[in-house]
């Protein structure tokens, strides 16, 4: 096969990243480098050790044409169209070297530049290889149940609603819902989370994740092209098309840079001979060196190769960045805004305190859990979870009734009990319970009373569970000089309590979705670049308004993946700090590359003007060597840990 169009069944071809079904050119390039390198070496040796200089020149010319054919052709076509590209600079330099009797250097210029171009292609191709490695996660076949038996078919032939069989050690082929079996599933390829996740009936599983130990039957919910891993691949591929502000600046700079260099080189040919008596041939040679060293190859690739490395590294760690501009912006943010529920907290109430008045705490919990066993309210579920954890034995409840907006009531062992807010106990006088109630409520907790119509026997305080790494994540961000802000629809008391517990700098509570958008706009005016972190659905307007929107826990959520600029696949708040660190490292590497490229090129250019650098040295150190250094530095990002 010679192209993507000839293998439509190959998922890599459909993604436009197939490495198998396209012409293999790299081997030919290596062969060209070997042949032209041998000719170059032979030509140089012939010039030194034989009395036939034309033989050496012929060999050098052959080496130049073979290795630099593409550059010479591109340079000629650009020149006749009056477009001054990098190829024009190199072609003029090589031709000038041959014309001034420096055939060895002319051939060396084209040979080394061709190698530099090859290195750039490798760096650009790394993006495709990284995307392809993501696609390698998902298997190409699936084991499905058909006609009462099992059969293995291509994943593209599996329909929605069919049952896939996933045995221990298998990779899940398609997104779906578990209909039978239990197991632990390694979701690291999608989420970056190293700890396997327990899966049972009713749980979602995703293509590309690995079943570690149990047997699962999965009802397929999405075709291959719409699976989570396919969306990951598509988003990473799409990200390559978004340029960062730094890239855009360098591109604009390069547009005017080449003509300016040619003009300076022309002046270098004319001015020194006329003003300082420098021989014309020597001045011409120095101008050729300037043309070579001025080629902005390393400068041009310094940013994109770094950004691609950062984006693909993030994808392998469960963070999808939908554009290079977003990756760069995160590291430059002055403030990061968090939604509370579902982002800093897990959005589930848990019992924090049980307080008894005249009765043991265990008795308070037993009464409350017995009554709440008849309710489906979130508070009831939290109380039951606490009772189950403590091994509390539930009691029989009679005459159960739910009082809307207040709580529940019923009879246990012949006595009437009530569980709810103070409105359910209108005739009770204040006392010790009131003091404890005010204290717990002041801590931002939801407090329910347990008792009879005449007395409170205890209090149960609940709060939304703060994510395990939330406090450390906020501390890490503050250590980097980033201000943290929390936005919540909860009341101010609850919001301030959570903010204090986590270490948030600023809290704004009682906000509707439109209020959150207004607050993001205000923060943008106060601090400049703002990153908003939310659940990707309820916070969609604020995520869209912020400079960068980061959606948390978006695995399997099409809405979240579409809404945000950056998607954290797992509910792991620590990924926000990781994202900032990755962005800062990427931006730092970009700056290192740009600075190094400019300093080295300007330094060698200055030496060239003074006649202290030869043509081949300009290419070896100022072009090929510099490009290799820039690429190697950028690839360091890919070795960054999670």
| Cα separation, 397 vs 371, whole angstroms | 7
Q: Is residue 358 scored above 80 in pLDDT?
A: yes
The reply to whether 180 and 248 lie within a common domain is: no
Tens-digit pLDDT profile for residues 556-609:
556 556 667 888 888 889 999 999 999 999 989 988 988 888 888 888 878 877
Tens-digit pLDDT profile for residues 237-273:
554 555 556 666 666 666 676 677 778 888 888 888 8
Tens-digit pLDDT profile for residues 301-345:
777 778 878 888 888 888 888 878 888 889 889 899 998 888 898
Q: Are 200 and 182 in contact (CB under 8 A)?
A: yes
The reply to whether 23 and 95 lie within a common domain is: yes
User: How confident is residue 15, by pLDDT bands cut at 50, 70 and 90?
Assistant: very low
60: left (phi over 0), alpha (psi -120 to 50) or beta: alpha
The reply to whether 202 and 249 lie within a common domain is: no
pTM for the full predicted model: 0.68
What pLDDT, on the 0 to 100 scale, is given for residue 34? 84
Q: Are 178 and 201 in contact (CB under 8 A)?
A: yes
The reply to whether 116 and 246 lie within a common domain is: yes
Number of domains forming the structure of the chain: 3
The reply to whether 85 and 121 lie within a common domain is: yes
The reply to whether 364 and 441 lie within a common domain is: yes
Let me know if residue 569 belongs to a domain: no
User: How confident is residue 14, by pLDDT bands cut at 50, 70 and 90?
Assistant: very low
The reply to whether 119 and 251 lie within a common domain is: yes
Mean pLDDT of 435-450: 87
Let me know if residue 314 belongs to a domain: no
User: How confident is residue 9, by pLDDT bands cut at 50, 70 and 90?
Assistant: very low
CATH number at residue 200: 2.70.150.10
- Higher per-residue confidence, 245 vs 277: 277
Q: Which of 355, 363, 382 is nearest to 436 (CA)?
A: 355
Let me know if residue 575 belongs to a domain: no
Let me know if residue 5 belongs to a domain: no
Let me know if residue 622 belongs to a domain: yes
Mean pLDDT of 212-218: 88
What pLDDT, on the 0 to 100 scale, is given for residue 3? 36
Let me know if residue 542 belongs to a domain: no
With 0-12 CB in 10 A as exposed, 13-18 as middle and 19+ as buried, what is 435?
A: exposed
CATH number at residue 406: 3.40.1110.10
Let me know if residue 574 belongs to a domain: no
The domain of 275 spans: 12-133+241-308+585-639
Across 166-180, 249-263, 486-500, which has the greatest mean pLDDT?
166-180
Mean pLDDT of 391-403: 89
User: How confident is residue 132, by pLDDT bands cut at 50, 70 and 90?
Assistant: low
Q: Which of 260, 290, 267 is nearest to 608 (CA)?
A: 290
Residues annotated as part of the active site: 339
Q: Is residue 416 scored above 70 in pLDDT?
A: yes
The reply to whether 251 and 399 lie within a common domain is: no
Q: Is residue 72 scored above 80 in pLDDT?
A: yes
The reply to whether 152 and 213 lie within a common domain is: yes
């Amino acid at each position: 096969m010679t192209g993507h169009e000839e293998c439509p069944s190959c998922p890599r071809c459909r993604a436009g990243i197939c490495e198998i079904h396209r012409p293999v050119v790299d081997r030919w390039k290596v062969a060209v480098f070997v042949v032209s390198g041998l000719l170059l070496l032979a030509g140089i040796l012939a010039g030194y050790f034989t009395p036939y200089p034309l033989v050496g020149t012929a060999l050098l010319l052959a080496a130049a044409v073979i290795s630099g054919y593409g550059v010479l052709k591109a340079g000629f076509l650009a020149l006749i169209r009056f477009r001054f590209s990098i190829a024009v600079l190199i072609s003029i330099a090589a031709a000038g070297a041959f014309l001034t009797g420096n055939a060895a250097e002319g051939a060396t210029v084209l040979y080394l530049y061709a190698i530099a171009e090859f290195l750039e292609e490798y760096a650009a191709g790394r993006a495709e290889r990284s995307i392809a490695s993501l696609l390698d996660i998902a298997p190409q076949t699936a084991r499905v149940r058909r006609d009462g038996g099992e059969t293995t078919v291509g994943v593209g032939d599996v329909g929605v609603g069919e049952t896939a069989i996933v045995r221990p050690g298998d990779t899940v082929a398609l997104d779906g819902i578990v209909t039978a079996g239990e197991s632990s599933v390694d979701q690291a390829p999608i989420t970056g989370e190293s700890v396997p996740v327990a899966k049972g009936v009713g749980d979602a599983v995703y293509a590309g994740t690995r079943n570690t130990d149990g047997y699962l039957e999965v009802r397929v919910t999405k075709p291959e092209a719409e699976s989570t891993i396919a969306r990951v691949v598509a988003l990473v591929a799409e990200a390559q098309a978004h340029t960062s502000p730094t890239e855009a600046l360098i591109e604009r700079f390069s547009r005017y840079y080449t003509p300016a260099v040619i003009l300076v080189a022309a002046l270098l040919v004319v001015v020194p001979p006329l003003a300082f008596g420098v021989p014309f041939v020597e001045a011409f040679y120095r101008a050729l060196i300037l043309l070579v060293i001025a080629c902005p190859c390393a400068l041009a690739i310094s940013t994109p190769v770094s950004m691609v490395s950062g984006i693909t590294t993030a994808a392998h760690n469960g963070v999808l960045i939908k554009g290079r501009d977003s990756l760069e912006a995160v590291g430059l943010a002055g403030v990061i805004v968090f939604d509370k529920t579902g982002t800093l907290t897990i959005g589930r109430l848990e019992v924090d305190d049980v307080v008894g008045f005249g009765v043991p705490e265990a008795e308070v919990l037993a009464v409350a859990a017995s009554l709440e066993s008849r309710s489906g309210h979130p508070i009831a579920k939290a109380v039951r979870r606490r009772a189950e954890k403590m091994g509390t034995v539930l009691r029989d409840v009679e005459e159960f009734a739910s009082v809307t907006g207040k709580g529940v009531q019923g009879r246990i062992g012949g006595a009437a009990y009530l569980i709810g807010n103070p409105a359910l106990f209108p005739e009770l006088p204040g006392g010790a319970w009131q003091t404890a109630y005010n204290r717990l409520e002041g801590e931002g907790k939801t407090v329910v009373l347990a008792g009879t119509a005449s007395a409170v026997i205890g209090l149960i305080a609940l709060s939304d569970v703060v994510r395990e790494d939330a406090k450390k994540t906020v501390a890490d961000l503050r250590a980097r000089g980033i201000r943290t802000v929390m936005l919540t629809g909860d009341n101010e008391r609850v919001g301030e309590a959570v903010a204090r517990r986590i270490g948030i700098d600023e809290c704004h509570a009682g906000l509707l979705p439109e209020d959150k958008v207004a607050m993001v706009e205000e923060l943008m005016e106060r601090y400049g670049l703002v990153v908003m972190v939310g659940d990707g659905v309820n916070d969609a307007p604020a995520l869209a308004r912020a400079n960068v929107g980061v959606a948390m826990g978006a695995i399997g959520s099409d809405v979240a993946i579409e809404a945000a600029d950056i998607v954290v696949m797992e509910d792991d708040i620590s990924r926000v700090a990781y994202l900032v660190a990755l962005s800062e490292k990427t931006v730092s590497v970009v700056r290192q590359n740009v600075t190094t490229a400019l300093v080295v090129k300007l330094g060698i250019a200055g030496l060239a003007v003074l006649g202290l650098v030869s043509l081949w040295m300009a290419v070896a150190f100022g072009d090929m060597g510099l490009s290799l250094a820039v690429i190697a530095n950028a690839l360091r990002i890919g070795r960054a840990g999670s």
